[in-house]
Amino acid sequence: MKMLAFATRNTKEILRDMLTLLFGLGFPIILLLLLSAINAGIPKEAAAASTMFQIQNLTPGITVFGLSFMSLFSSMLISKDRTTSFILRLFTSPLKPKDFILGYTLPLLPMAVVQTAICYIVSLFLGFEFSANMLLALVVNIPMSVVFIALGLLFGTILNEKAVGGICGALLTNLSAWFSNIWFDTGLVGGWFKTVADILPFSHGVNAGRYAVSGEYSQIMPELIWVIGYAVVLTVTAIIVFSVKMKRDK
């Protein structure tokens, strides 16, 4: 119950910052509209040679890229609490490290689902073919949401409020963009670039989403297991690091 009360407080903090909230929800939609317009302007001969910007492939990628903003939300939330006396007062409560991390995570998961849902709804007006697989795609994106949220909590536990803005707001979004198979096929680059892309979870999350919307169900789990593994490891790491910081700051 205390963890849920803490999660409720964090929800109110997130909703209080409406400008950042609207930016996080709206920026992926702007990208989707912009890239769809670019794709519409590509000559048919060139468009046939590349399917990356076609709406059926583009939308799952944009939904994953949009989730990178969850890192910024989570990192700013926890780092801001660390710089005030609020977190010190909470250290005297019965909350355990895992309760803190879950309390920060739970309010962001519905936000991530809403962001993904909005992207798919907008894509319907851009030619995306409606099917029940869209609901599956929402579920498939949840482990990727946890990956980004856990990364934000990990960096927010270690770094101050200004530093996490650069790490989670710039570096992480660029990493998720370049190594995710959204804008281009990493296999075409090959070499170390493809190796790094295959190690990181971003391309696996995008691929799982694309397999979900295309109905290739047997291909989803091989990609999603990689993402789930990252989600579990990063969440556990965030709990351990927070526990260490908690003991030092008491």
**Rounded CA separation 225/205 (Å):** 10
The answer to whether 75 touches 162, Cβ cutoff 8 Å, is no
DSSP state of 170: I
The answer to whether 220 touches 131, Cβ cutoff 8 Å, is no
Average pLDDT on 134-138 reads 93
Burial class (CB in 10 A: 0-12, 13-18, 19+), 196: middle
The answer to whether 208 touches 230, Cβ cutoff 8 Å, is no
Assign 244 a pLDDT band (cuts: 50, 70, 90): confident
The reported pLDDT for the residue numbered 191 is 84
The reported pLDDT for the residue numbered 49 is 43
Q: What percent of the chain has pLDDT over 70?
A: 89
**Rounded CA separation 108/139 (Å):** 15
User: What radius of gyration do the chain's Cα atoms show?
Assistant: 19
**Rounded CA separation 105/153 (Å):** 8
Which has the closest alpha carbon to 80: 2, 16, 172?
A: 16
Tens of pLDDT along 41-67? 666 655 544 566 788 888 999 999 989
Average pLDDT on 136-142 reads 94
Higher pLDDT among residues 199 and 167, named by residue? 199
Average pLDDT on 75-87 reads 78
**Token couple for 168:** 């989670």
Q: What is the pTM of this model?
A: 0.90
The reported pLDDT for the residue numbered 48 is 45
Assign 121 a pLDDT band (cuts: 50, 70, 90): very high
**Rounded CA separation 54/58 (Å):** 6
The reported pLDDT for the residue numbered 229 is 96
Helices (H), 108-219: 108-124, 133-158, 161-166, 172-178, 186-189, 191-199, 202-214
Amino acid at 181: N
**Rounded CA separation 56/76 (Å):** 33
Burial class (CB in 10 A: 0-12, 13-18, 19+), 217: exposed
- pLDDT at residue 36 greater than cutoff 70: yes
Tens of pLDDT along 172-206? 888 888 888 888 788 778 788 889 999 999 999 99
